[in-house]
Amino acid sequence: MALKYEADGKVLEIDHDKCNGDAACVDVCPSSVFEIVGGKSTAPKMSECIECCACVSGCPEEAIKHSSC
């Protein structure tokens, strides 16, 4: 199951089937976009995203896709 987050023309998709909840995205995101909820990554602060793509490259499970990356 993939969840989509959208803000200001940016689209982020997190595949919860791949996400292992290790919080790599939380650790690498300089804008604090991510949180772990129920053992899976979420992006409740998508509007804060600066499109740096650290989350995409930092996810060991390749569970994150971003429209800018």
CATH entry 1.10.10.10 includes domain 2-66: no
According to the model, what pLDDT value does residue 11 have? 97
- Domain map of the chain by residue range? 2-66
- How far is residue 18's CA from residue 64's CA, in Å, rounded to a whole number? 9
Helices within the chain (DSSP H only): 24-28, 54-58
Q: Is the dihedral of CA 29, 63, 19, 58 positive or negative?
A: negative
According to the model, what pLDDT value does residue 40 have? 98
pTM for this prediction = 0.93
- How far is residue 61's CA from residue 40's CA, in Å, rounded to a whole number? 12
Tens-place pLDDT, residues 21-55:
999 999 999 999 999 999 999 999 999 999 999 99
6 confidence band (pLDDT: 50, 70, 90): very high
According to the model, what pLDDT value does residue 29 have? 98
According to the model, what pLDDT value does residue 41 have? 98
- How far is residue 22's CA from residue 10's CA, in Å, rounded to a whole number? 24
